[in-house]
Each structure stands twice: as C-alpha cells, then as structure tokens.
Structure 1
C-alpha cells in the first residue's frame, strides 16, 4: 500500500513540476517579447558565423589573425565552444528557449542594417489565415476612403516606359482601420480580398509617375489564385514568381521590382511621428538564399539611408531572412534591384500610409534618376 501511495505521489509531483516549468517558460517568453532592456537585444551588423570561422582559422594561420586585428572581438573561444555544445548564445538569452516554444523562432532573424533603437521586437511577423478568410471582400471604411481621395490630383501623362514593377505576394494583407476595425485586438482580422495592400501599391505607382518614373502595378488576387490551384498560402511566392517572370518577358525595360507587404506587429512598432506628421514605418526584407543577395542589399541600404536622412526613423532597417519556414529567396534571384518592403502594420491608417508612400516614392525616384544620369 505504501508503494502505491509513493507512486501516486511521484506522479503528482511530476505533474506539478511540468506545470511550474511550463509557466516559468512562458513568463520568460513574454518578458523577452515585450522587454526593451538592452540585455535582451541582439547585436546588428555582425555575421557571427563568419567571424567565428575566421577566428578559428586565425589561430592556425597568423596572416588571418593579423587581418582580423581591430575587428569585433565579442566571440571568445569559451563562448564559441559553449554555443557549439549547447546551441545557447551567452549574449542572447532568447537562445535558451527558441527551440522550446512554437513560433518563437520568428524572432531569430537579426537586422543586418538597423535604425537606432530597433531590436528583435521590431522584426516583421507574418500570419496566414485560412483560405476562406483570405477570399472575403469588404469595402474600405468611409473615413479612410475620404482620406484616400483627399488631395488627389491628376499626375498628367504617365511615362510610356515602365521601369518599376510593383506586386503583392500576400495581396490579402490589409489594415484594421481600412476595414473599419481600428483598435481590434486580433491582428489576424486585418485580411481582405478587396481592401488590402494593393491600395498601397496603386498609391506608390501613382507617386512614382508623378516623379517621372514609369510604374506597372499588378493587383492579382493571390488568395483567389491559391484557391483555384488548391494550394496553401505558403505557396504564394510560386504564384507571384510567375507574375514577375511574365512582366519581365513582356517588358525588358523593367529594372526595379517591389513586393509590398504589411507587418503584423502593432502600432507602437510600426508608426512614427516625423516633423509633426504620422508615418507608417518600413522594413526592407532580403532573402539570404538568393544569388543577388549582395546587390539587393546595396539597393535596400541606399533606400534606407535616403529615407532616414529625409524622414528620420521611417525605415527600421534591412532584415535578411533564411532557414526553415522561410522562403529565403522572395523572387529576388530574378533581379539585382528587387525587395520585399513591409509598409506599416495592422494598425496603420490611410493618412500614415499615404505619407510613407510619398516618402518611399521619392527615395526610389532619387535612385532611378541618379542611375539614369550615370547611364547617360
């Protein structure tokens, strides 16, 4: 009888231990996801893998060691060995739990180029609701429609030569205010087959053409195309790839390819007041697994610098992405001037989006006209 009670006691204690451990784990995750304490922030502008590899070689080859003099020395042998053995990084507490909590790996990416104050809590988050949700179509909220149409003037004759191709791989991504849902707690409600990111694409095309830069805007309903094929949303890049390829085949003058997206993080991360005007903040995303990575990085960095010089803080920075659960290419292998651009988040309204589109169009046009001058 004593053995029976002992066995029951052990099982109860095991359950208690699991409950307490799980609770503590989620408390830590919550702290990491919301904290702005510098201890939790990752370092930017560093390639840890390359640095460690070169240092290991440096111990055997003095020439390599001398070449690294003055370089970043934040990766001593002990911490490197500890990371290799445990997969835990001593200067990044997130690594203790990234493999234990589903979805936490979304915060694994590091900004390669980052504006001051940006940390892993600013990393764009993508969410993909079921196909039936993506197919719903709603009209834009009346007050947002009024803002959209305010100040509209004819841009005159559109440039006959189209140099910029704007498309929307996740065309269903929308904004809560545009759908009359401002302040809604569930960010996944910001999806629609009609009132969505394609409106931002149209605005960008118009603003570019005002500046003499010809733009072609594709408004394909990707959700409908997925539904026709019976595909899930993760295959959306296969559909948008064909759109880009067809556009290139039909116009060899296209030079710049902009895939517009909307972030899922909330307003405090995606909004900035600049010169007393509200702006939706931007993030440039580059697939690290595409052959044009360095060229696309140069393009993104140019845009980032121009934007933040004229509108300090409007661009969060440049985020490279690769690995499991990530496309890693984003059609960027097709062009040296190709980017995913996250424009604002679920809480941004039309005023904020319009201001940002004007700023982005100005930056793109500056790069375009500079290149035209160089090419004669």
Structure 2
C-alpha cells in the first residue's frame, strides 16, 4: 500500500516538472521570436534608440500603457469608456507581427500591390481628409521620361554641369531655400499634354511666385531651378531617386550660403480637383497638404512646424489646408531631405486639375503665414 502511494507521489512530481519545463520552453521561444522580430524590422538608423522603442510600442494598443499607469494611479482609468484589461494575446500578436487587428491595412498592405500607399499616418486631418483622400505621388510614364531626358528643360543648351548649379539668388544672403524635387510636375489646365509633366510649365513657377512674395515681405530667398528630371535621365537613375539627387543640390546651396535656415520643397498632388480645390470668400484656391518624413530621428521637429503652419492657415483661410500626414517605411523615401533642417517642409500645392490662378492665391496665403512664422523664429534667436 505504501509502495503504491510512493509511486503516485513520484509520478505527480515528475508531471509537475514536465509542465514547468514545457512552459519555460514555450516562453523562451516566444521571447526569442519577439526579440528577433524587433532586431530585424528596425531600420539601421534607429536600432537600439528611443525612436526604435517608439516604433515598436506604437504597434501595441495604447490602452495597455494606460492600464499599466492605472495600476499606480487610478485616475488614468477614469477616462476610459471600457476599463477592462485589453487582451494579452492581441497585444502579443500586434507586437510580434506588426499587424493591428483594428486596422485592416496592416493585413493587406503586404499582399496587394500599391496598397502600401495608404500606410501614411494622418497627423492632422483637414476638411475632407481621410485614408481615401491621401496625398498621392505619380511618376512620369517611361516613354515620357525618355522623351524629356532628351530636352534641355528650358536651359537654352547649357551643359549638364551648368544646369546643376542654376539658382536664383538674392543679393543679400538668402534665408529661405525653395526647391522642387519633382520639378516637372505640372497641371492639366495649363498644358496641352496627355500627362501632367512638363519641362517648363510646372511647379517651379509656383516656387518662383512664392519667392516673390517672400521678397515683398523683406525676406531674402533663393529658388532652385535645377532640372532634377533631366539629371536623373542623364545618370540613368529611376524616378524614386529624385530626392537623393535634389539633396545634392540643397546641400551644395547650404555650403555656399551659411545663412539658410528655412527649406521648402514644393510639389503638386495627383488626386483630382474635388479634393484639391477649395472655395474661400467666393474665390477658388488650390488646397495645400504637408508631408512629413518619419525615417529620421528628429522628424518630430519638422512635424511640429508643419502642424503649426496648418493651424495658422486654417485660422485665416478655413479649408485651405488638407492637413498634415506622416510618411515613412518601405516604398517611399521617408526622409524627403527634412533631416537637413528642423525648419524643412514638403508642401503639396494643389493637384493635376488646378490652375496657376488658384495656385498663386494659395501661394499668397502661404507666404503671409510663413513670413509671420519666420520673423517670430528670427526674433526668438
């Protein structure tokens, strides 16, 4: 009788040890999987940094962090409609796979071609702005790129070395630099073409008009007239490297002009007029959109500036700004040369269906708001 009890006791202990070892093995596998996922999904520029931790934790439900704080201070839980603890399994899934069960885009983005274009984050939504009306880039068709590569783009036969240094510079040391990484983006109402890309009638005209406004406000400015598309074609580079080539131009100008502090890269959107046109005080304006690249450590400074300019525009011209979006990750540049200065912005002016008249009205409004902001920043220095 005693022998049977002893055997039962031994068997019970062995079963308990087996369960403990099994749980430890499972926990080890899960933790290893999570660590490997974190190390392999972070970019080289952000590994083992605060920005990497921010990106990883951003994948998890924010309620988890509120509940953690709520364990120490119950007031944090008062603002929650549902004070129940979030599902641990869901949190582990989101952290391990970068998939959010509440956001279908995270499931489809890796499977459907082009779906990653909707991965942008809306930092500030202007009127009518949602994930169906996001800013969209469109490259020229291959045949158009080849055709344009054989032109001199309005430089009257100058060689490529001369073209790469063309910039309208004021006599006084410029404070503002205006560039156009996609310099041939154009507008259907202003050209007789099948595609909205033109070597002369394009977004550069808006940049020149904006610069004239700055000069009227007493702010020295330079406008890059470099034909980035021609430079791409000469080097046989793809369109998505426009920002890398434009960066060379901006850096060169920064080295030549130490006083440069504010940098504006002007573009036009590819969406239709219903999303890019606003009627304000019985006049039509080309709506603006601010794009902030998040793939560099200090992007929040650029974001703060964009949000501030958006708010000021909305105070004076309600509906003019479509908002501020954050763009990064695979499939896009994700920096847009904004790492060169905290006072750098990418501004979309209108879309393919807007006219220069509408664009210039928007440039007038933008210049008024920006000059106030710039003078305030100068006074603080």
Retained in 1: the 8 A contact 2:60–2:95?
no
Which one of 113, 127, 136 corresponds to residue 102 of structure 1?
113
Residue number in structure 1 paired with 2:375? 369
The CA distance in 2 between the partners of 1:73 and 1:233, in whole Å, is: 48
Aligned with 1:263: secondary structure? coil
Which one of 174, 180, 184 corresponds to residue 172 of structure 1?
184
Which one of 238, 242, 263 corresponds to residue 244 of structure 2?
238
Aligned with 2:109: secondary structure? coil
**TM-score between the two structures when normalised by the length of structure 1:** 0.73
Shift of 1:299: 1.0
Which one of 55, 58, 62 corresponds to residue 50 of structure 1?
58
Retained in 1: the 8 A contact 2:153–2:227?
no
Shift of 1:310: 0.6
The CA distance in 1 between the partners of 2:242 and 2:81, in whole Å, is: 42
Residue number in structure 2 paired with 1:328? 334
Q: For the structure 1 residues 240 and 66, does the alpha-carbon distance in structure 2 shift closer, same or farther, using more than 3 Å as the test?
A: farther
Shift of 1:317: 1.0
Please say if 1:282 is aligned against 2:288. yes
**TM-score between the two structures when normalised by the length of structure 2:** 0.72
Shift of 1:138: 11
Please say if 1:217 is aligned against 2:231. no
Retained in 2: the 8 A contact 1:271–1:344?
yes
Residue number in structure 2 paired with 1:114? 125
Q: Which of the pair has more CA radius of gyration?
A: 2
Q: For the structure 1 residues 330 and 70, does the alpha-carbon distance in structure 2 shift closer, same or farther, using more than 3 Å as the test?
A: farther
Aligned with 1:190: secondary structure? coil
Residue number in structure 2 paired with 1:162? 174
Please say if 1:349 is aligned against 2:355. yes
Aligned with 1:268: secondary structure? helix
Gapped regions of structure 1 (runs ≥ 5)? 1-46, 141-157
The CA distance in 2 between the partners of 1:121 and 1:208, in whole Å, is: 34
Aligned with 1:237: secondary structure? helix
Shift of 1:85: 7.9
Retained in 1: the 8 A contact 2:116–2:331?
no
The CA distance in 1 between the partners of 2:185 and 2:293, in whole Å, is: 20
The CA distance in 2 between the partners of 1:80 and 1:251, in whole Å, is: 50
Gapped regions of structure 2 (runs ≥ 5)? 1-54, 155-169
Aligned with 2:264: secondary structure? strand
Q: For the structure 1 residues 134 and 344, does the alpha-carbon distance in structure 2 shift closer, same or farther, using more than 3 Å as the test?
A: farther
The CA distance in 2 between the partners of 1:334 and 1:49, in whole Å, is: 27
Retained in 2: the 8 A contact 1:287–1:293?
yes
Aligned residue pairs, count: 306
The CA distance in 1 between the partners of 2:236 and 2:178, in whole Å, is: 25
Retained in 1: the 8 A contact 2:59–2:95?
no
The CA distance in 1 between the partners of 2:359 and 2:211, in whole Å, is: 14
The CA distance in 1 between the partners of 2:278 and 2:131, in whole Å, is: 18
Q: For the structure 1 residues 289 and 331, does the alpha-carbon distance in structure 2 shift closer, same or farther, using more than 3 Å as the test?
A: same
Aligned with 1:201: secondary structure? helix
Shift of 1:161: 3.4
Shift of 1:110: 2.0
Aligned with 2:60: secondary structure? helix
Q: For the structure 1 residues 137 and 192, does the alpha-carbon distance in structure 2 shift closer, same or farther, using more than 3 Å as the test?
A: farther
